[in-house]
Structure formats: C-alpha cells, structure tokens
Amino acid sequence: MKKAAVSQVQNTRYLPLPKKEVQYWKTSDLCRHFGIHCSLQKEGARIAEKLFRRFAVLYQLPQDYGNVASKAYLLQDIHKGVLETAKISQAGDIILTHPLKSLTEEKNRLLAATISCVNSESPLEKAVKFSMKSAGLSVEQGRSLRFLAESVVQARQQVMQQQDSGKGGKRESGRYPSDNFCQKLSEYVAIQIQEITRLSSNSKDLSKPEVIHDIRVAFRRLLSLSVIFSGYMNDRWQQECILKLKENLKILGSLRDLDIMQEKCVYFLKKSGYTIKEIPVLWKMIGETRDSRLSEVNRHCSSIAYETFLRDMESYLETGVCRPVLKKAAKVMIFQNRQVLEVSLLQCYMQLKAYDEWINGLIVPEPVLHQMRIAFKNMRYVLDFFREESGEKGEKLMESCTWFQTVIGDLHDETVLIDRMEHQLKNLKIQGAGKKELRIVKSFINFSREERMALLAVFRKRWKKFAGEGL
C-alpha cells in the first residue's frame, strides 16, 4: 500500500501516526468494506463533482477539489451500521482512519470534513466550523469545504428528483434534469442568495472594499440574468425583485465609488511624486464621506427590510422563478439549455450592435458607453451561466466581454471621479485647502481626463474588430 505523511492536527481526539505507518485504501475496496454499492452512486457522484466545479468558477476555488466532492457523495453513508446516531457528525473520522490512496493528505482531510458536514444536524456554517477544527483545515480550505458540502447536498436532491421522475431520471425528451433550464436557473439564483446572505451577515466585514464588491457582483448577476431571461421568469419575480435589486446595487455602489476614488487618488499621487500629506483636506473629505456611506450600508444590510427581501427571494424558489409554459396535454414545456443560450446571446449581441451608431460621431456620450458596459456584463454572465454548454468558443467570448467590461468600467470610474472632483473644488476652498492642494487636485482632474481619453482609444480599436467579427 502507498505510504504518506500525516501532519500534526491540533485536536486532542487525534494521535498522529508516523508517516511510514500510514496505510491507504483504494476507493473500491473501501466501498466494499463498508457495504457501499459504488455503481448505484456513480450518477450522484458525477453531479456532485460537476456542481462543485461550477462553484469553483464562481468563487475562485481550487478546481482540483472536484474529485473530493465526487468521493464525498460516494462515501456519505460510510458511517451507517458503524456509528451510533448521536455520533453521525463524526462520520468523517472514518476517512481519517481509512484514507484514500487516490487523494493527497490535504484532500483526505477535506473529504473527511465534507462527510461530517453533510451528516451533521447543525446548520451548515456551524457544521463547517466544527469539521474544520476536527480535520485540521485552514480558513481557506474551510471556504472550499462549505461548497463541497453544498455540492453533495444539492447532488443528493437532484438524484431524488431523477428517481421521482421515473426510475433513472430520463424524461420524454430523453434528457436528464441537468438539461432543464428552469431548474438550472433556480439553483443559480439560490447560490447567489446564499452568497449575499453570508457576506452581509457580519457588519465588520462590510468595511472591506472586497466584501462590498462581492455582494454587488452577486446582486448584479441576479439583475443581469433577470433582465436577459425576463421572458422565462414569472411575473412575481419580475415585479417584486428587479426594482429592489437595482435599489441595493445603488446603495452599495455609492460606497464602492468612494473606494475607487481613494484607489485612483493614491495611484495619481504615486505616479506624480506627491503624497497624501499634501492633500489633507481632500483626503479627509473623502474619508468622512466614506464613513458616512459605510454607516448607511451597515444600517441597510442589518435592516428588517433587507432581511425580508432576502427571505422573499428564497421563498420564490419554492415555487420556481420561471413562468410555466404548457404544451399539449397540459404538460409543462422543458426549455433546454442550449436553446436558451443561443437566444440570449443573440439578444445581448443585438443590444451591443444597437449602440454602435452612437459612438462614431463628433462626440461619444459616456452614458452610452456605460450602457455598453452593462450589455457586455450581461453577455458575460450569460456565458458564465452556460459555461458547460458554450464550450471553448464561449470561454474566448467571455474573455472578450471581461476585457471590454473592465476597460469601459475604468473609463466610467474616471468620469465619475472627474465629476465629483470638479464639484468638490469649491468645497475644498471653503474647508481651507491651500493653493498647493488646489493645484494638485486640478492636476488630478486633468490626469483623469487624459486617462479617460486613452481608455476610449483602446476601447474603440478593439471594438471595431469585435463588431466586425460578429458572434
């Protein structure tokens, strides 16, 4: 058998074995040993791995943990007939005593923690913390653990749905539920709501720019897909959610704008040879405004209205977010992923092409460019949603969308900054800014104007090529 090292775990329930004495098991042997029928679990294991890889793309997790999700599904019931009911939350311990030959030590520990999580009666967050400690995992590994457990739970639900629909899961079309667009959309929406709830739960984290950014991204994904898939989504979602999604993006965006202003200010100072000490009034003004907006965001995210909105969105998932379309014999039509992908991509592309005539005159309206940025963002989220169906061509198109979104986004940020700084010049004088500081601020505005024109030139050059190639 293969030998490997076992590192010291900071938990008194475990005694580390010398590395030369550790014995590993083949997955098939372990399944047979504990009476698990691998062949009956293969489909669920495949779904679990697929779900985790989707999570990995969305949340920048290690892709190679996919096989941990697969094996966690296979071995989720390894404790049955071995542990008492009161001890099932320790099911993962069996993996630590019977590590798999095909996994590294790190992955064996993740596997153990995942199995403990999915068998715990505690809420997921609490189960993750307990399992992290038991298996000796780092905070970063704990982040992956949460989604590994979620993948196994969702895979279990999908398998049950397949069994309910006819002993093997095939429908009239000969396809599996994984090709059901409405089901895929509901799962995606659920993931975004869970992420927003998790990120908003700790008021201390809301002071971090990256946390605000991640919350806005989740809200933006929901809004973008709600707009693009509006023809498929039910009226309740359209009427009650879209307006509130926009409101939340606006509130969070006001804080994000100030974070960007600070970043660009520091960049300009460094590039021009100045320091923050030379713009004390401006820096204080930005900081005070940010503190005020941060308080507003904290109040908003801890308000009853905000919590109610998140709960309402979750409740919509119980009946589905899609509008049922009936065919003959009153059976619900199943929209296939590739069909929806093709229609949605064409919709995004035609929207982009419609803006083309507005950016070739004597002036280029920045609001039009901003709308193009939103259109590119929508296309990117559609491609991300249909990542498996769009293939390699979709990956390349998504890279282009990300590039355009970033460049136009930077251009928009410069526009917002210029507008704010010009309005602040009078206030700076009132607040006691000296001539040198005012001169630096005016240089900052001119610097941003030059940056904006450079970004426009870069954008137009690549846009002409993109528009000429088509989809």
Residue-wise pLDDT tens digits, 189-244: 888 988 898 888 876 777 788 888 889 999 999 999 988 988 888 777 877 888 89
Q: How far is residue 449's CA from residue 394's CA, in Å, rounded to a whole number?
A: 34
Q: Report which of residues 159 and 248 the model is more confident about.
A: 248
Looking at 293, 312, 334, the residue that finishes a domain is 334
Same domain, residue pair 141 and 186: no
**Judgement on whether residues 81 and 125 belong to the same structural domain of the protein:** yes
Say how far apart CA 293 and CA 299 lie, in whole Å.
10
Q: Is the separation of the CB atoms in 412 and 370 below 8 Å?
A: yes
Could you tell me if 146 and 198 lie in one domain? no
So what's the pLDDT on residue 174? Answer: 31
CA distance 390 to 381: 12
Task: Note whether 403 and 429 are same-domain residues.
Answer: yes
Instruction: Say if residue 330 is in the same domain as residue 245.
Output: yes
CB 469 within 8 A of CB 352: no
Query: Which residue has better confidence, 146 or 360?
Result: 146
Q: What is the mean pLDDT of residues 369-396?
A: 89
CATH code for the domain in which residue 280 is found = 1.40.20.10
| Residue pointed to by tokens 């969702």 | 154
Residues 196 and 255 grouped into a single domain:
yes
Is it the case that residue 171 has pLDDT exceeding 50? Answer: no
Q: How confident is residue 365, by pLDDT bands cut at 50, 70 and 90?
A: confident
Comparing C-alpha atoms, which of 167, 141, 169, 166 is closest to residue 155? 169
Which of 6-15, 121-130, 300-309 has the highest average model confidence (pLDDT)? 300-309
* CB proximity list for 310: less than 8 A, separation 6 or greater: 193, 196, 197, 200
Asked if residue 165 is part of any domain, the answer here is: no
Q: How confident is the model at residue 471 (pLDDT cuts 50, 70, 90)?
A: low
User: What's the helix, strand, coil split of the chain in %, to 5?
Assistant: 75, 0, 20
Residue-range definition of the domain harbouring residue 415: 336-470
Give the separation between CA 452 and CA 95, rounded to whole angstroms.
Answer: 56
In which band, very low, low, confident or very high, does the pLDDT at 173 lie, cut at 50, 70 and 90? very low
One domain, residues 292 and 374: no
Q: What is the DSSP string of 263-313?
A: HHHHHHHHHHT--GGG-HHHHHHHHHHHHHHHHHHHHHHTSHHHHHHHHHH
pLDDT at 407: 95
Mean pLDDT, residues 275-282: 93
- Chain length of the chain: 471
Whichever domain contains 64, its CATH number is 1.10.3210
- Give the model's confidence band at 6: pLDDT under 50 very low, under 70 low, under 90 confident, else very high: very low
Q: What is the pLDDT of residues 38-72, one digit of tens each?
A: 778 888 899 999 999 988 888 888 989 999 999 99
Q: Which residue has the higher pLDDT, 446 or 315?
A: 446
Q: How far is CA 376 from CA 58, 235, 241, 411, in A?
A: 18, 25, 22, 14
Q: What pLDDT shows up at residue 201?
A: 80
Q: In terms of domains, do 347 and 319 share one?
A: no
Question: Final residue of a domain: which of 280, 313, 334?
Answer: 334
pLDDT at position 140, please?
86
